[in-house]
Amino acid sequence: MTTTNLRELATRENDGVEVSLFWNPAGNDVYVLVSDEKTGDQFEIAVGSRSPLDVFHHPYAYAPALRAA
């Protein structure tokens, strides 16, 4: 995901983990981006029909790789 055309709606950071909520006005899509400064891991979640604030506050519950484990 490139953040060039996206609008940041919210962001939070705790213990090196940054979580950001983005809206793409062109497609009216919402994404949550999670970045872990300590490990360098990063993933994004397309919110879809889910609650954007729920995904923002609980991104690991919606992370595709973690759900498959």
> Which domains, and CATH codes, for the chain?
7-68 (3.10.450)
Please work out, in degrees rounded to the nearest 5, the angle formed at the alpha carbon of residue 36 by the alpha carbons of 67 and 53. 60
Q: What integer pLDDT is reported at residue 69 of this predicted model?
A: 45
pLDDT digits (tens, 9 = 90+) for 3-19: 568 999 999 999 999 99
pLDDT digits (tens, 9 = 90+) for 21-69: 999 999 999 999 999 999 999 999 999 999 999 999 999 999 875 554 4
Distance in angstroms (rounded) separating the CA atoms of residues 24 and 22: 7
Q: What integer pLDDT is reported at residue 63 of this predicted model?
A: 87
